[in-house]
Chain A
Amino acid sequence: MSLLQEEQEFVVAAELGLHARPAGEFVTLAGRFEADIHVARGGAGAEWVSGRSVLSILSLAASRGTRIRIRAEGPDAARAVEALGRLIERPAPTG
């Protein structure tokens, strides 16, 4: 199994930003992929945090319009980044 890496930047679309509930959704979704997932604010020198920790994602303090980088390493990296990016760019949480 080859180790693939994928990294892309997305813009937070939801009015309330990346708050607790979507952060929980992000971690749940990230857990469905084999790839190792990390997240950082966009821009140089940003600190990468685990995509599997709700509190780490909340520590990014991402409000609407914040650029978020998602990096995945693993066999399903491309699918993981695509799915997680859709969640970041979703205007409002579902349900």
Chain B
Amino acid sequence: MKVGILLVSHYRLGEEMLQALRLIVPDGPPFYAVGINPEMGVDEMRAAISKGLDDADRGEGVLVLTDMFGGTPSNISLSFLGERRLEVVTGLNLPMLIKLATLGEEQPLEELAPFIKSYGQRNISLASELLPDDAS
């Protein structure tokens, strides 16, 4: 996968989600995580995300996944739009990460971002609507 993946979250949420991902898909491509906490100043947050973007970027841009639209991790990530080639998708979940880690074919960043947004939305389920009648 040529598009870089960077998770930007409150505290260690992103890193912990990567740990869960690695349990399910042990040999996926490298993804990166940056944790933002309230003790950090704005410059420090920007520096941490900037370093994360550098780590994740392999020349085809970076897909940034944040935990929530409107949160500081998201807002600071958005401040890099226009400066670098990146797309920000908010409201990350584990199904999105599993899909990104197992994608067979390459997609450019600009197509990958809307695809993974709708994939994440589709994989929020009410279990009782999903389970077959004979599943227990």
With a CB–CB cut-off of 8 A, which chain A residues contact B99? Answer: 53-55
Could you tell me the distance in whole angstroms from the C-beta of A54 to the nearest C-beta in chain B? 5
Could you tell me the distance in whole angstroms from the C-beta of B62 to the nearest C-beta in chain A? 23
Contact with B along A24-42 (1 / 0, CB 8 A): 1001100100000000010
Majority-rule SS of B interface residues: loop
Contact of A61 among B26, B27, B135 (CB under 8 A): B135
Contact between chains at A52 and B104 (CB < 8 Å): yes
A69 to B15, CA, bound (A): 36
Could you tell me the distance in whole angstroms from the C-beta of A61 to the nearest C-beta in chain B? 4
Contact with A along B119-135 (1 / 0, CB 8 A): 00001000000111001
Contact between chains at B24 and A53 (CB < 8 Å): no
A27 to B135, CA, bound (A): 22
A55 to B97, CA, bound (A): 11
Contact between chains at B132 and A61 (CB < 8 Å): yes
A39 to B99, CA, bound (A): 18
Q: Does B95 contact A (CB under 8 A)?
A: yes
Contact of A27 among B23, B102, B132 (CB under 8 A): B102
Q: What number of residue pairs across chains A and B have CB atoms under 8 A from each other?
A: 41
Q: Does A8 contact B (CB under 8 A)?
A: no
With a CB–CB cut-off of 8 A, which chain A residues contact B24? Answer: 20-21, 23-24, 54
Q: Closest residue to B123 on the A side, CB-wise?
A: A55
A21 to B104, CA, bound (A): 19
Could you tell me the distance in whole angstroms from the C-beta of B126 to the nearest C-beta in chain A? 13
Contact with A along B85-104 (1 / 0, CB 8 A): 00000000001001100101
Residues of A participating in the B interface, judged by any CB pair closer than 8 Å = 20-21, 23-24, 27-28, 31, 41, 52-55, 59-63, 66
20 A–B contacts, CB within 8 A, in A order: A20-B24, A21-B24, A24-B23, A24-B26, A27-B25, A28-B25, A28-B26, A28-B27, A31-B104, A41-B132, A52-B104, A53-B102, A54-B24, A54-B99, A55-B99, A55-B123, A59-B130, A60-B132, A61-B131, A61-B135
The 10 A-B pairs with the shortest beta carbon distances in the complex, nearest first, are: A24-B24, A61-B135, A20-B24, A54-B98, A24-B25, A61-B131, A55-B95, A21-B24, A55-B123, A27-B102
